[in-house]
Amino acid sequence: MADITKKEIVDSVPQKGFFGHPKGLFTLFFTEFWERFSYYGMRAILVYYMYYEVSQGGLGLDQSLALSIMSIYGSLVYMSGIIGGWLADRVFGTSKAVFYGGVLIMLGHIALAIPGSVSLFFASMVLIVLGTGLLKPNVSSVVGDIYSPEDNRRDAGFSIFYMGINLGGFLAPLVVGSVAMDNGSNNFHLGFSLAAIGMLIGLIVFVVSKKKNLGLAGTVVNNPLAPHEKKKIFTTVAVGFVVIAILVLIGIQTGTLTFPLFVNIIAFLGILIPVSYFIVMFRSPKTTAVERSNLVAYIPLFIAAVMFWAIQEQGSTILASYADTRTQLEIFGFSIKPAFFQSLNPLFVILLAPVFAGLWVKLGGRQPSVPRKFAFGLLFAGLSFLVILLPSYFGGENSLVSPLWLVLSYFIVVLGELCLSPVGLSATTKLAPAAFSAQTMSLWFLTNAAAQAINALIAPLYSEETEMVYFGVIGGASIVLGIILFIIAPKIQSYMKGIK
């Protein structure tokens, strides 16, 4: 760590000024609100943009390819958090990382806002993947920096921040969806421009308010590269980059690098990266015996989180296409836009998060252990898929179903999300060895990245004919895994040393 101590950082942040929380939380809250607004606004229409016919303003891609792209894209967006975390830790500090990330994201949305070219479409993905990797994990970790370790407002601070995420995720599909999809005459590019404007506002909030509100937070480079390391690393990165670029070019030229192969490679990375992470942490001499035991306990939790996010994230892919093609969208004289369904998950999170927080407080010592909460997460996720299977069971696969089935499914998955997601983040920070604590945010992001990589692999299995088997098998698998986890929970708990 450089010359500035953690205490000096906390002292430099005005400790009041945002709902009784440090003023810096205002800056972080709104930066992340607008970033999520742009991300989820874009995602709410992107899937339709890809598979709608050119005559409807879309790209006319095959639907199952579009669903795979959504997942592989989502996976890369969170995988790149490793790069973003590393750059912040060793090169420019979190604050600059957030700024550069925001700029890249905005450029990415601008690229999508320009009509006409598939290469702009891919350029936009690269920009948003790198930009989100720089911004999201780093803005989240600054939240931790503005409180002193003893401050008991800390957990509440993270909950308020989580509200910011979901408020952005709730409003964006409504606003962007309304502008972009207007029965028959779609204007997707206008929608993407709104996403770009959202990110621009976020950047302005960040730049204008950070000096006053964040003080020294985010300005310190924790573990700066030594000059001799610099040269070595930059050479390795440059060589690696050139080698990969050449391989990709050859692959494209010769036709060997097909999309299915690319999906396989990313899915493989989605599993390889966390496994290597665990091995490195486990074998590191800096990891103590107690920490090693904690790591063993973390493995089943990691796997459970992957299963959970695999289902939760299909809310923006498979269920989004279900909303579009299988659901009655004219109801009580209103016409609902399919993109609106994307607002349900964040809406339920906002409404229910306080209920769950209150429930845990009320249960106090009687509340379920961390592994048991994860088990509940899986049970609810599984149920949310079984529920969506029922209408086709009753009505056949060809009739349009009531939107209320989808609403119910999104509701149930959120019950699971609130058992697993907030607990998961804090368990990650507690279970990761101290020497690796700076990277724990990216470790948690990898649960989601691995899940979406797997989703990209399985998306082609979904079609209207296979939907019952599809939802049944995946939902069933999650429930079985949940039951196993529930049973072995005490064993896992016994490996978690000094953590309740």
Segment interacting with ligand PHE (CB under 6 A) among 96-104, 215-223, 383-391, 443-451: 443-451
- Compute the least distance from the CB of residue 417 to ligand PHE, in Å: 8
Closer residue to ligand PHE in complex, CB, 80/448: 448
Token pair recorded at residue 169: 């995720």
Token pair recorded at residue 242: 């050139």
Interatomic CA distance for residues 430 and 487, integer angstroms: 23
Give yes or no for residue 445 binding ligand PHE (CB under 6 A). yes
Of the candidates 321, 319, 331, 329, the residue with the CA atom closest to the CA atom of residue 387: 319
Name residues contacting ligand PHE, limited to 2-41 (CB under 6 A): 36
Length of the chain equals 500
Name residues contacting ligand PHE, limited to 45-84 (CB under 6 A): 78
- Compute the least distance from the CB of residue 468 to ligand PHE, in Å: 28
- Compute the least distance from the CB of residue 189 to ligand PHE, in Å: 24
Closer residue to ligand PHE in complex, CB, 424/475: 424
- Compute the least distance from the CB of residue 21 to ligand PHE, in Å: 19
Closer residue to ligand PHE in complex, CB, 18/445: 445
Give Cβ neighbours of residue 349 (< 8 Å, ≥ 6 apart).
Answer: 162, 166, 414, 417, 418
Of the candidates 40, 74, 314, 47, the residue with the CA atom closest to the CA atom of residue 168: 40
Closest-by-Cβ residue to ligand PHE is 448
Name residues contacting ligand PHE, limited to 447-486 (CB under 6 A): 448
Of the candidates 477, 5, 485, 498, the residue with the CA atom closest to the CA atom of residue 216: 5
Interatomic CA distance for residues 333 and 83, integer angstroms: 49
> Which position has the token pair 């930066």?
31
Give Cβ neighbours of residue 342 (< 8 Å, ≥ 6 apart).
Answer: 40, 43, 44, 169, 172, 173, 177, 315, 316, 320
Q: What is the DSSP string of 303-370?
A: HHHHHHHHHHHGGGTHHHHHHHHTB--EETTEE--GGGGGGHHHHHHHHHHHHHHHHHHHHGGGSPPH
Segment interacting with ligand PHE (CB under 6 A) among 148-156, 352-360, 389-397, 442-450: 442-450
- Compute the least distance from the CB of residue 444 to ligand PHE, in Å: 6
Binding mask 133-162 toward ligand PHE (x if CB under 6 A, else -) reads: ------------------------------
Beta bridge partners of 18: 21
Closer residue to ligand PHE in complex, CB, 203/450: 450
Binding mask 279-308 toward ligand PHE (x if CB under 6 A, else -) reads: ------------------------------
Closer residue to ligand PHE in complex, CB, 81/218: 81
Closer residue to ligand PHE in complex, CB, 21/43: 43
Give residues in contact with ligand PHE (CB under 6 A). 36, 78, 165, 444-445, 448
